Structure 1
Amino acid sequence: MLTFLGFLFVILAITITFVQPFIRKKHDDLIKNGSKIPPYIGFIAMWDLKLRSALFGFGLFMLLLAESVIFAKEGHQYYILSPTGARSTIMSPGIKFIVPFSKIQEWEKFIDIKCVALDKKGNYKQDVTGIEGIIPNGINVRFIDKVDANVYASVRFEMPSDDIAFIKLVETYRQPSNLINNTLLPTVSEQLKNVTFMYSAEDYVSGSATDYRMTIEDALKNGGFVVKKVEVRDTIYNEVGVDSVLKKKRGIKEINKFIRNEKIFVNGIPKRIPHEINVNKIITAQVIIDDVDLNKAFEDKLKQQRDISAEKIIEIQKVETARAAQQRIVAEGERDKAAERVKQEKMQVNTLIAIETRVKEEESNRQLAEIAVKTAELEARALLIKEKAEADANRLKVNAGLTPQERAQIEKETRIGVAHELSKMQVPTNMIIGGNGGNSTESLLQIKLLDDITKKQK
């Protein structure tokens, strides 16, 4: 807009300068003749040299301003080559000032590469608007077990944010299309083929898909892998049957040998080869593996294996069900046997407890009887000691000088007391009399003691 206005003002100033003498002369003639002056003649006639110079200068200013100001758009980077040969870049959006009449080259900050499938008419099956690099029908790769596949990948690259690297990139490739067609597309295709040859199709469908995709992303971001060729043996076993399951043994049907690439590690880190993406400091912002379309023959083989595996699983499940039923019957028998064993053991325990209780009761009775005998014996001894003490006391009193009257009175009272006690005592039928002419009182006491012990034992 500024450029258009600048050119308009400059051209207007130059035009007025050329037609000014003629218009001015006609204007003066009309004044002399007293004729009416048309507006446009009056307007042009009033533009003297100062006004024409000012108009011309303003037009030049507008042209210079238009060449000195650039509006940088979001998501774009700009390469600036000034008339003096100086190079610079614009990385951020907004209004920027540059040297007038510089050469400006605009680049997308992000470049998208995408594999797109084609229909039978050769048209893309999805919208490709905004995609700079398109790979029709994916990238054809081969796994180490000689299975072909078409890999559909979506990769987004980001231009270098470093000024020097971006300037070198622009000067090397000159146009974004050269960078896409000569570097990005071939490098993506090469890395996918190299990584795919590190895996087998069997591994991919058996659970290595995630690892496969992560390896592709790693190779595009950090450089290709230095690999070595390794011989791999793929052992194929015989069909799984009921007998093999029961015997837990499978025979080998065949062994396939093939060569595959394996990473070389140095101190635990994969050894790499930088590719053009890394060398030009292009950032791999995003890698998505949309699909891996395996060879149709291999997919048919997988379907057959899946059906066979399903039948094998059903047969194995039947075997396991029968085995479980057998184990259940055995377990139930063992359970019944254990229950009967516990019942018999409980009965034995009850009998043993009853016997042990009776034994303990008899033992307690015996101990009580022994204690009773000892108690009676102690009581008898205590009585004897008491009687003997009283007799000794009386003897000492007599020896101390009692009168014959007092001594007679004491003996009388003693005999009356003894007789009174003897009258109360029940004399047993059995009598023990000492051979050496013992005391009759002592003999009676002994007889009573024995009689009491005999009654307690009964």
Structure 2
Amino acid sequence: MLTLFGILIIGIGIVTLLTKPIFKNHRLLGWFTQRKSLRIILLGIVLSIVTGTLFYAEPGTAYAVQYPWGGQKAVFRQGIHTKMWGRLIPIQFELPIKYVIPNTNGELGEQSEYANGDAAKYWAFSDAVKARIATSVVISINTDGEAQFLSVADRNKTEQNLIRSRIIPNIDQSIKNTCKLMDAQDYISGQASDFDRYFKDQLENGMYVLEEYTESERREIIGDSTTVRTVVNKDSKQKRFRIKRIQGEPVREQGNSLKAYGLKVVQAVVTEIDWEETFDKRLQLQKEEVAQTQLEKQQAEREFYRAQKEKARGEAEKAAERARLEKEQIQKTIAAETEAKVAEFNLVKEKKQFEVEKFKAQSKKVAADAEAYQNAKLVNAGLTPQERAEWQYKTSVGVARELKELNLPQIFIEGGGDSQKTDANLLQSLIGAELAKKMMESNSK
């Protein structure tokens, strides 16, 4: 720009210098003198020399400088550099390239002056569904190798030519190949990340070599998971593509890679997809079906859990009743066992008490026998006349008292024969028995 301005100034100086003698009285040319015209020409020459030998390198831009005598150099640093009237080929360090889906008015919206934006194109997936795919790609040039950069700049001449003739065709081919590898239904069902991965890998490392194959139509499952009924047309075949591989590695097209130009893919993503109208309608129907299925599933789950709740409630009530009956049973069992143990304890107690009373009676009998034996021994041993008189007195008093207290039967039966002898024997027997009893009782006391 400054060089052209300098040439323009030189031209103005020459014109004023040549036309001044012809139009001497012209008012516009009156200000220009020969000296002023020469100064103008000199100024133009200086500007042309300065602008032709120097240039300013903007930040973030690499320059290839091609000299008139055939030499060239690469400039990667910003600032003022010499070009010696050479040709400049500026290329940004990073080249943003975007495919944008136009709005209803066909406009692409606001775009950066440093980005290359184009309208998104329609691409067909393997199931023939078409869609406009908006992408955002950032390509970085190689600023480490000067020779490779100069080769790319020399072969492509301008940055725009590099983008249009090298980069965009690779982007288009990558999108095309990636669309062939999947159905539109697969993309919306979770393979969007695979699309981005295939897209970037082909841009960076080269295009896949695709091979064609056919497969039977997918079986559509109708019904629940327990009873599977399928609908399939045996004669229906679908043409599909897959990546050709050798020993697990994908086969790529030779010479069709951005790496050959020292270009590196910094970013390659799909930002938006505008499906064709027929597929949008189908998606809407699918969404409605999915929503209806989800609703029915939720209702079925609700009924299932309600039944489970009622079943659980019944089990809980059954368990509570079982616990209550078991508690009553345990209480009755414990009460019966307690009663049995109490009766057993009472029986043992009665037995012990009987044995105690038995031993008491035996003790009394032994004591009485011992006393009687002692008394008999004393009598047999012989007493003094005074002791014998005292013993007879006590005995007679005791016998009289016992006879007084003696309770004889009021009625007795007489037998035939010797009645007087029988009466005497009976009376003696009764008196003797009663006296013996009283004696034993008094001795025991």
Normalising by the residue count of structure 1, what TM-score does the alignment of the two structures yield? Answer: 0.61
The answer for the alignment partner of 2:62 in structure 1 is: 77
Go from structure 1 to structure 2 and tell me whether the alpha carbon gap of 1:348 and 1:60 turns closer, same or farther (over 3 Å shift).
same
Go from structure 1 to structure 2 and tell me whether the alpha carbon gap of 1:323 and 1:165 turns closer, same or farther (over 3 Å shift).
same
178, 181, 201: which one aligns with 2:184:
201
193-202 vs 82-91, which moves further: 82-91
For the 8 Å contact 2:95–2:139, the answer to whether it is kept is yes
Aligned pairs, how many? 348
Distance (whole Å) between structure 2 residues aligned to residue 293 and residue 433 of structure 1: 131
Go from structure 1 to structure 2 and tell me whether the alpha carbon gap of 1:334 and 1:129 turns closer, same or farther (over 3 Å shift).
closer
98, 113, 125: which one aligns with 1:114:
98
CA offset at residue 430 of structure 1? 4.0
For the 8 Å contact 1:79–1:89, the answer to whether it is kept is yes
Instruction: String of CA shifts for 1:62-91, please: whole Å, max 9, x gaps.
Output: 876554433210121111123442221001
The answer for the alignment partner of 1:418 in structure 2 is: none
Distance (whole Å) between structure 2 residues aligned to residue 150 and residue 142 of structure 1: 9
The answer for the alignment partner of 1:290 in structure 2 is: 271
For the 8 Å contact 1:111–1:158, the answer to whether it is kept is yes
Go from structure 1 to structure 2 and tell me whether the alpha carbon gap of 1:356 and 1:62 turns closer, same or farther (over 3 Å shift).
same
Q: Does 1:252 align with 2:234?
A: no
Instruction: String of CA shifts for 1:124-149, please: whole Å, max 9, x gaps.
Output: 2413452664433x222211112122
332, 343, 346: which one aligns with 2:324:
343
119, 122, 126: which one aligns with 1:144:
126
The answer for the alignment partner of 2:195 in structure 1 is: 212
For the 8 Å contact 2:101–2:132, the answer to whether it is kept is no
The answer for the alignment partner of 1:90 in structure 2 is: 75
SS at match of 1:300: helix
Distance (whole Å) between structure 2 residues aligned to residue 360 and residue 99 of structure 1: 123
Q: Does 1:166 align with 2:149?
A: yes
The answer for the alignment partner of 1:175 in structure 2 is: 158
Go from structure 1 to structure 2 and tell me whether the alpha carbon gap of 1:225 and 1:362 turns closer, same or farther (over 3 Å shift).
farther
SS at match of 1:135: strand
Distance (whole Å) between structure 2 residues aligned to residue 323 and residue 70 of structure 1: 80
The answer for the alignment partner of 2:381 in structure 1 is: none
Q: Any gaps of 5 or more consecutive residues in structure 2? A: 15-32, 375-445
The answer for the alignment partner of 2:281 in structure 1 is: 300
Distance (whole Å) between structure 2 residues aligned to residue 171 and residue 372 of structure 1: 133
Go from structure 1 to structure 2 and tell me whether the alpha carbon gap of 1:142 and 1:428 turns closer, same or farther (over 3 Å shift).
same
CA offset at residue 102 of structure 1? 3.0
Distance (whole Å) between structure 1 residues aligned to residue 197 and residue 54 of structure 2: 45
For the 8 Å contact 1:3–1:63, the answer to whether it is kept is yes
For the 8 Å contact 2:205–2:257, the answer to whether it is kept is no
SS at match of 2:91: strand
Question: Which structure's CA Rg is the greater one?
Answer: 2
CA offset at residue 343 of structure 1? 1.0
Instruction: String of CA shifts for 1:22-42, please: whole Å, max 9, x gaps.
Output: xxxxxxxxxxxxxxxxxxx9x
Distance (whole Å) between structure 1 residues aligned to residue 207 and residue 128 of structure 2: 22
The answer for the alignment partner of 1:401 in structure 2 is: none
CA offset at residue 203 of structure 1? 0.9
CA offset at residue 92 of structure 1? 1.7
Q: Does 1:105 align with 2:85?
A: no
SS at match of 1:160: coil
The amino acid across from 1:252 in the alignment is T
CA offset at residue 263 of structure 1? 3.3
The answer for the alignment partner of 2:169 in structure 1 is: 186
Go from structure 1 to structure 2 and tell me whether the alpha carbon gap of 1:276 and 1:130 turns closer, same or farther (over 3 Å shift).
farther
SS at match of 2:126: coil
206, 212, 230: which one aligns with 1:229:
212
Distance (whole Å) between structure 1 residues aligned to residue 83 and residue 108 of structure 2: 46
| C-alpha RMSD of the superposition | 4.8
Go from structure 1 to structure 2 and tell me whether the alpha carbon gap of 1:316 and 1:67 turns closer, same or farther (over 3 Å shift).
closer
CA offset at residue 60 of structure 1? 8.6
For the 8 Å contact 1:133–1:181, the answer to whether it is kept is no
CA offset at residue 10 of structure 1? 11
The answer for the alignment partner of 2:399 in structure 1 is: none
CA offset at residue 119 of structure 1? 6.0
For the 8 Å contact 1:116–1:124, the answer to whether it is kept is no
The answer for the alignment partner of 1:319 in structure 2 is: 300
Written as runs of structure 1 = structure 2, the 5 A alignment for 1:347-362 is: 347-356=328-337
Go from structure 1 to structure 2 and tell me whether the alpha carbon gap of 1:332 and 1:131 turns closer, same or farther (over 3 Å shift).
same
Distance (whole Å) between structure 2 residues aligned to residue 4 and residue 190 of structure 1: 42
Instruction: String of CA shifts for 1:307-331, please: whole Å, max 9, x gaps.
Output: 2333333334333333333333222
CA offset at residue 254 of structure 1? 2.3
Q: Any gaps of 5 or more consecutive residues in structure 1? A: 15-40, 45-51, 374-379, 381-424, 435-439, 442-458
Distance (whole Å) between structure 2 residues aligned to residue 325 and residue 288 of structure 1: 47
